[in-house]
Structure formats: structure tokens, C-alpha cells
Structure 1
């Protein structure tokens, strides 16, 4: 079974102050766009770099997730540390993901330049950081998702098949 990780990084959601809407929005998109059967390893964690790092490592190394998507913690506020946690656990960074996500967000809000989304590879796992608002999650993930299945192919992960509404790009052999 293919395993995908979703981590909502939020002090308030992890404390139960409000519902975890961003993480659930991300899971809904994965279910909408992927036709391959998969299970979701789902966590809500506070904005604490060691906690985020430990969860990323667990999902990649122990749970065997081929893709981990985080929501939240990508802004400039002092407690926004998701990109730092991601960089700390990855062997390779993929700055093109963040560049495309910021360019996409700039079509909607001028403050997109404050966002620090990124992506990287840990072993056979792709980790992608998304913003914390459901609308922005859809806009950003929609922009980069066509490249995700091929990236996972290249790092030795399982083949992810996508719905016609979200075709994956794979170069012709």
C-alpha cells in the first residue's frame, strides 16, 4: 500500500483551539487527484522545529511515506519554522517548488513574497511545504502537483497514478 503523510503545523490546531481545516483540505485534494490506492499518515503538530523534524523523519523513515505534505508554518513570523525543519531533514532541496508556488500565489495576493514554501527529498520521500490556508493550499498544490508523481518515480518511490482532472507529467520514453 502506498503511504502518504500529511502534517498540519499549527500551535492552535495542535492544542485543540480550532479545527484542523488545512490538513483535511490537503487530504481531500490528494483523494481527488490520485487514483492509486493509498493510506494517509496524518498528524497535527505545534510550530516547534524539533517536533516537526521528528515527525518528518518518522513518516519518511519508519512509516515509509513516499510523499509528505505539510500545511502551515511557512511565513516570516518567529514561530514559522516548517521550512527550516524540512531543510534540516532533507538530503536535497528542490527550490523550484517554492519558486513556482510563490509565483502562483502572486496572482492572488502581493504578500506571496513573504511565503517560504519549499520542498526537498529525504531518501525515497518527497517533502512539500504548503501554506496554511485551504484556498492557498489548493492553488499551490495544484501548480506543483503535475511534477510530483515523476519526482517520486525518479527517487525510487511507487508509481502514483492521477485522475484526468490532474494529469501528471512524465517525459516520453
Structure 2
């Protein structure tokens, strides 16, 4: 059954007509023109569709629209407006951390969410973050170097 949903995406309010069980991925891409959110596996395993929900990285391909009520959603299109996102983007570009680029939008969202929480992630935190992403090009070594470089450029926790 189609209903009207009010979504806050990238700081702007939107109204969409959709079924409550429609997946966030399709609403973002098809209704709100957020093409940086990519369809990968459709089962929440590859990470290409990662967005932030209240600042936390989530896969949008298995998130029903009803689960987004009252939540702040952010897509990769907004990443350059985030102070940590800017540092992460710069590190990924300068170290050429992407090859084909299909997976990288989701990885950027997850990495930035992690570095917003801690500028000194543990090996376990890095593994947990990257575990949700599949890069078929084999760029993981460059991606890990870019994460390390971005973390080094950010102020330490507790510092202004």
C-alpha cells in the first residue's frame, strides 16, 4: 500500500510516495536522484549501497522505508560537506585508493563514519568496517593506506 513518507536526506526534507516495505536504496536512487548510492548485491553483503542513518553506516539495500522514520539520512553526495569526509576523500584521491570505483562510495561512507567516532581505530574496528565491503578490484591495500593517512591527518580525540 502506497503512503506518503517524509524523509530527511542530506539535510533536506523530502516527501515521497512509496510502500512502507520499499527499500531505502531504491527510494534514494529513483525518487531522490541520489545516484552515488549503488546497487551491488541486494542482500546487504557488499556495502556498495552504504549510507548514514543518524551518522551510523547502514546498508540501504536491506533497509525498508518504514525503518527510516524520523532518522537523518546522509548519502555520499554530502560527504564533501563533512569535515572528516573531506579529509577521507583527499586521502583516497591522493593515494589512488580506488580502481574501478564501484564499491568506493560505500567504503567512503563507512570509513568516514568510523573516523568520526575515533581517529585511532583499532585493527578490530578497521576489520569490522571493511568486512562489510567487497572490492573485486583488489584495492584493499591502497584503501587501508588511505584510511591510515586520513586518520593521521585528523586531530586526536579530545583535541579541538
TM-score (norm 2): 0.33
Is the radius of gyration larger for structure 1 or structure 2? 2
Q: Structure 1-normalised TM-score?
A: 0.31
